[in-house]
Amino acid sequence: MPPCEGNIPSAAQFQMELPENMLAMTVEVEGERLTLLVRAGQGKWCGKADGGKVAVGRGAWTKGTYEIFVGTEEAGGARPFKLKISEVPR
């Protein structure tokens, strides 16, 4: 898989455990000039801020452990952000 754009931290800031499959779920981050990476097993979803928001993973998710990384478009430190996870149980 190609690398995600931006300056992604080497360690995940959040870990999320899904005990069951989800019919529909989205991970979204709000803030200026941010990137978002969600990784699980061999899969990953990347996104880059568009108008102050970036969302990944719209649709079905399988149970398991997911790592969430919030980075910046350029090197030079962290930026404030708001993380939002929306789900609909299956």
Starting at the earlier edge strand, list the strands of the sheet with 82-89: 53-61, 22-30, 82-89
The amino acid occupying position 52 is G
Share of the chain above pLDDT 90, in %: 30
Query: CA 26, 86, 75 angle in degrees (round to 5)?
Result: 55
Q: What is the pLDDT of residues 36-51, one digit of tens each?
A: 999 997 788 898 877 7
Which domains does the chain show, CATH number per domain?
A: 14-89 (2.60.120.380)
Mean pLDDT in residue range 74-87: 84
Q: What is the pLDDT of residue 81?
A: 92
What's the pLDDT tens digit per position in 49-77? 777 788 887 788 889 999 999 999 888 77
What is d(CA 55, CA 73) in angstroms, rounded to the nearest whole number?
15
Cβ pair 27, 57 in contact under 8 A: yes
